[in-house]
């Protein structure tokens, strides 16, 4: 039959039901536990945990941009300085992050980089700014860094999951997010690039149901109107390419990271 995504699908009802069962809507926080054992992904060549921990150990005033539910920052609770602040832009995540981080003395500030381009902090406020998968303005990062301060960011490449975009007809929302663009913006803001790296690999989902569950957490990777009932033909294509042949659904994965420093003078 012809479906709303314009592609013919012969997906059996039991598959469609299994896919629909994963449509829970975007949850609070960034909890991927329901995908344990159902997906794997290529690891980066760098160890972000160690990079962050080493930098935190050398810092007294720390900002974590886009902390989500505080899950990643909480890993470093034992070494966080007393002056640690986190921002979060998605309103449902703010109370989650607050509950997770306030017991460790971390202040959580609501800040949406899409609607408020200016960070709500004084010039030179932090000697370390951490950023994991959050949008940022390089000039604002440079402004809130103290002289000699360090900016660490890991980003999701704007061209990842190209295979998913192709079958859904959805254009990557931020194709400009590349290592080169990031580096150029930081240098234009007056920061010195100390380290960088890029990793290209794969997500592997056991089946389309696992992919649908994942997309509840990252809805920006699909069209705004995405649902199983609107895009069953696209999902059937992915099923035919992988699980129908006893293989996972494989989608490209891109990560890059940069360490930059504000000059002393």
3-state secondary structure of 253: strand
Q: How confident is the model at residue 24 (pLDDT cuts 50, 70, 90)?
A: confident
User: Which residues, including other chains, have CB under 8 Å from residue 213's CB and lie 6 or more apart?
Assistant: 22, 24, 34, 35, 38
Domain that holds residue 253: 13-261
pLDDT number for residue 220: 87
Domain membership of residue 7 (yes or no) is no
Chain segment 34-84, per-residue pLDDT in tens: 899 999 999 999 999 999 999 999 999 999 999 999 999 999 999 999 999
Domain membership of residue 18 (yes or no) is yes
Domain membership of residue 219 (yes or no) is yes
pLDDT number for residue 2: 40
Q: Is the pLDDT of residue 7 over 70?
A: no
Least confident of 27-41, 45-59, 102-116, 170-184: 27-41
Tally the domains of the chain. Answer: 1
Q: What is the CATH number of the domain that holds 161?
A: 3.40.50.150
Domain membership of residue 8 (yes or no) is no
pTM above 0.85, yes or no: yes
Domain membership of residue 111 (yes or no) is yes
pLDDT number for residue 33: 83
pLDDT number for residue 31: 74
Q: Mean pLDDT across the chain, nearest whole number? A: 94
Domain membership of residue 5 (yes or no) is no
pLDDT number for residue 184: 98
Domain membership of residue 179 (yes or no) is yes
Query: Which strands form 126-132's sheet, in the order they lie side by side?
Result: 39-41, 192-205, 249-261, 145-156, 126-132, 61-65, 83-88, 107-110
Domain membership of residue 2 (yes or no) is no
What is the average pLDDT across 19-37? 84
């Amino acid at each position: 039959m012809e479906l709303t995504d314009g592609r013919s699908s012969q997906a059996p009802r039991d598959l469609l039901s299994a896919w629909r069962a994963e449509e829970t809507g975007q949850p609070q926080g960034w909890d991927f536990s329901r995908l344990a054992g159902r997906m794997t992904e290529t690891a980066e060549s760098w160890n972000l945990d160690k990079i962050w921990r080493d930098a935190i150990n050398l810092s007294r005033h720390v900002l974590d941009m886009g902390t989500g539910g505080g899950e990643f920052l909480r890993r470093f609770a034992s070494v966080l300085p007393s002056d640690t602040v986190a921002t979060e832009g998605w309103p449902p995540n703010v109370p989650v992050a607050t509950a997770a981080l306030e017991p460790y003395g971390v202040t959580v500030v609501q800040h949406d980089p899409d609607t408020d381009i200016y960070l709500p902090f004084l010039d030179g406020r932090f000697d370390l700014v951490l950023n994991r998968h959050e949008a940022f303005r390089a000039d604002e990062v440079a402004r809130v860094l103290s002289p000699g301060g360090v900016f660490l960011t890991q980003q999701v490449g704007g061209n990842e999951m190209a295979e998913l975009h192709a079958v859904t007809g959805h254009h990557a929302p931020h194709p400009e997010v590349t290592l080169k663009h990031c580096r150029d913006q930081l240098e234009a803001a007056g920061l010195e690039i100390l380290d960088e790296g890029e990793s290209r690999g794969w997500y592997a989902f056991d089946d389309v149901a696992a992919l649908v569950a994942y997309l509840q957490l990252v809805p920006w990777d699909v069209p705004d109107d995405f649902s199983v009932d609107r895009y069953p033909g696209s999902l059937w294509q992915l099923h035919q390419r992988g699980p129908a042949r006893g293989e996972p659904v494989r989608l490209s994965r891109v990560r890059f990271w940069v360490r930059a420093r504000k000059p002393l003078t």
